[in-house]
């Protein structure tokens, strides 16, 4: 029998949307851990990773579902028979730019998904992917700029919606509104939900157009510019799903950009054609880190030291070192 932390109605879970980088990585890792997967994708938009799985060793444990996030019934179909949902929002293909209207889209989808979960008897737990941008932005009365009091930010903080509208921080606005909607429904419908507030996901597809980067200079100066590697983010999702002690929100990152060297390295990743500045290493100033992921790190430590399912063959969970 599985450990107490893993007792669900079944070992079938849904990943929605599974076509993105995070979604497809979750599918692969969950299959390695012995789960059967309902992979919900928009407009049959499977990426190469999912296509490889469909013809690989795990194809019998993977079912692909066409998802229309505005069609309640298509969400219900993907959730049938699942004990859990890993939800991450992927913008519709005809509206990929974050603007002042994207918040309405993301809120509507979050509402549909959580309502569908409430109507699916087998769902034991929902892991909702949000963003660190739903935590870090608020008015600073001292300089009328971005947030920070002397206190360290953590998952108990919420981004100020009016501040986002004022400075056109559409990504932060969308993530905050959608997460608040999800929490309201989860509490009203009695859904067991946990939220991952992820830093900027780094990787080969990261570009200067990523909407998370709006306000990057201010995040850097405030000591809250955090990034996360894909493997760490996937591990965090699985940990909070499998551990019954998980609750509420978890800030998820494993690197803080708080020195000029880190900032230049990220800039080169975003714009590789631009030569680095000649004298950037003269600035040895260290920005004070003002954001904490202690809650997640403690959970990862406890989870790693606790009982693990016999079918686990993925690599051990790694703790962030910032």
Residues catalogued as catalytic? 175
Contact indicator for 273, 243 with CB cutoff of 8 Å: no
Q: Are 66 and 44 in contact (CB under 8 A)?
A: yes
Q: List helix spans (H) across 122-195.
A: 133-136, 161-166, 170-189
The set of residues, in sequence order, having a beta carbon less than 8 Å from that of 151 and lying 6+ positions away, is none
Question: How far is residue 289's CA from residue 319's CA, in Å, rounded to a whole number?
Answer: 18
User: What percent of the chain is helix, strand and coil (3-state, nearest 5)?
Assistant: 40, 15, 45
Q: Which residue has the tokens 């004022």?
A: 166
Looking at residue 316, what DSSP letter applies?
Answer: P
């Amino acid at each position: 029998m599985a450990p107490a932390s893993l007792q669900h109605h079944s070992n079938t879970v849904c990943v929605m949307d599974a076509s993105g980088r995070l979604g497809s990585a979750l599918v692969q890792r969950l299959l390695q851990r012995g789960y059967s997967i309902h992979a919900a994708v928009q407009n049959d938009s499977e990426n190469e990773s999912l296509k490889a799985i469909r013809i690989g060793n795990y194809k019998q444990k993977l079912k692909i579902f066409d998802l229309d996030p505005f069609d309640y019934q298509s969400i219900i179909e993907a959730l049938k028979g699942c004990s859990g949902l890993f939800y991450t929002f992927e913008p519709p293909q005809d509206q990929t730019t974050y603007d002042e209207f994207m918040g309405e889209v993301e809120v509507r989808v979050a509402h549909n998904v959580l309502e569908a979960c409430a109507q699916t008897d087998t769902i034991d737990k929902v892991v909702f992917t949000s963003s660190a941008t739903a935590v870090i932005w608020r008015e600073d009365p001292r300089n009328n700029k971005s947030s920070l009091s002397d206190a360290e930010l953590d998952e108990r903080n919420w981004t100020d919606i009016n501040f986002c509208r004022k400075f056109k921080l559409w990504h932060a606005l969308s993530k905050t509104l959608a997460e608040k909607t999800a929490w309201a429904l989860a509490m009203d419908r009695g859904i067991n939900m946990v939220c991952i507030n992820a830093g900027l996901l780094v990787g080969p597809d990261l570009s200067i157009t990523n909407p998370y980067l709006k306000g990057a200079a201010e995040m850097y100066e405030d000591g809250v510019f955090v990034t996360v590697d894909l493997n760490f983010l996937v591990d965090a999702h699985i940990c909070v799903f499998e551990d019954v002690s998980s609750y509420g929100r978890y800030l998820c990152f494993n690197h803080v950009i708080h020195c000029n060297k880190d900032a230049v390295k990220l800039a080169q990743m975003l714009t590789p054609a631009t030569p680095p500045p000649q004298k950037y290493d003269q600035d040895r100033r260290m920005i004070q880190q003002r954001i904490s992921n202690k809650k997640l790190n403690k959970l990862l430590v406890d989870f790693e030291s606790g009982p693990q399912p016999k079918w686990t063959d993925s690599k051990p969970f790694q703790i962030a070192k910032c």
